[in-house]
Amino acid sequence: MLLSDDRPVFDREGRDWPNRAASRFVTAGGLTWHLQEAGEGPTLLLLHGTGAATHSWRRLMPLLARDFRVLAPDLPGHGFTDPLPTPSLPRIARALAGLLGSLGAAPRVVVGHSAGAAILVRLCLDGALAPRLLVGLNAALKPFPGMAGLIFPAMARVLFLNPVTPRVFAWSADRRSVERLIRGTGSTIDRPGLDLYRRLFRKPAHIAGALGMMANWDLTGLDRDLPRLAVPLLLVVGAEDRTIVPEVSFGVADRLGGRPRVELLRGLGHLAHEERPEAVAALITAAARREGALD
């Protein structure tokens, strides 16, 4: 059983949180969400991936806020947002739709990293979002191939159900282990970025949120429905990504008849938006102009 002190506390872990002046807390759908909002203009929604939080946008968000009203929540169980009992893809999507409804927000552009992109695709397929552009950053839009698709979620489920596991992970989250973990994604990020991941990984509740998401993650339905996606899609791919290999995005583009535009960023990994935020912001803004999302 996780204790209240196992969760990140905004006045403690968030004391110098990136873009802290943009943070507020919103109650929607029975959850208290940590949300960051910055800029003016058409609304753009940012969704981070598994195990991250709004700190992942620390350098990208201010760049996008020059042209957009940017909304960036922590996903359920991540960072400073309350957890969901069963954080499956459909449940997270419904919870996020409730948050956006409470804000009266209808984003013109939606940007998701890794699993965040899958959530946005689900929302678009279900009619809960109708943006003019969807951007996937190293998007996790396909189930793991073969036996891995069965083994990885099952392993995460076993770890998630063991109450000791999040504490063990948190106790072992020293600077060197976090650096190895990030390096294993194919990315190299700066020391402040590593320290922010370490700060979250040292909290068992954040680890439990990430494990719970992986344990309940099933992209079979999304994969089946993907050809119905009618929203213009831009896939930004780090060529060195070791978490979601570039072939996944190119395969999605081929399956959708070449409709998605794929932009390959050489020398960058799974966290390309943290490594080269200027390049990623430029691609998003240019695509938004092409699709008429920036008036």
Rounded Cα distance between 168 and 163, Å, is 10
Say what the pLDDT of residue 295 is. Answer: 78
Q: Is the pLDDT of residue 76 over 60?
A: yes
Mean pLDDT value across residues 193-213: 91
Mean pLDDT value across residues 213-222: 86
Question: Please, what is the average pLDDT of the chain?
Answer: 90
CB-based contacts of 68, cutoff 8 Å, min separation 6: 39, 41, 42, 43, 44, 109, 288, 294
Looking at the structure of the chain, the number of domains it has is: 1
Q: Is the pLDDT of residue 215 over 90?
A: no
Q: Regarding predicted confidence, which is higher, 22 or 217?
A: 22
CB-based contacts of 107, cutoff 8 Å, min separation 6: 42, 43, 44, 45, 71, 100, 129, 131
pLDDT tens by residue, 156-198: 444 434 454 555 466 566 778 889 889 999 999 999 999 999 9
Confidence band of 144 (pLDDT split at 50, 70, 90): low
Mean pLDDT value across residues 4-22: 92
Range of the domain at 120: 4-290
Q: What are residue 135's DSSP bridge partners?
A: 111, 234
Sign, CA torsion 127/109/69/264: positive
Say what the pLDDT of residue 172 is. Answer: 64
Say what the pLDDT of residue 171 is. Answer: 54
Alpha helices per DSSP H over the chain: 60-64, 89-103, 115-125, 148-161, 165-171, 175-183, 191-201, 204-215, 220-225, 246-255, 272-275, 277-290
Q: Is residue 27 part of a domain?
A: yes
Q: What are residue 112's DSSP bridge partners?
A: 47, 136
Q: Is residue 223 part of a domain?
A: yes
Q: Is residue 295 part of a domain?
A: no
pLDDT tens by residue, 23-75: 999 999 999 999 999 999 999 999 999 999 999 999 999 999 999 999 999 99
Say what the pLDDT of residue 247 is. Answer: 95
State the CATH number of the domain containing residue 154: 3.40.50.1820
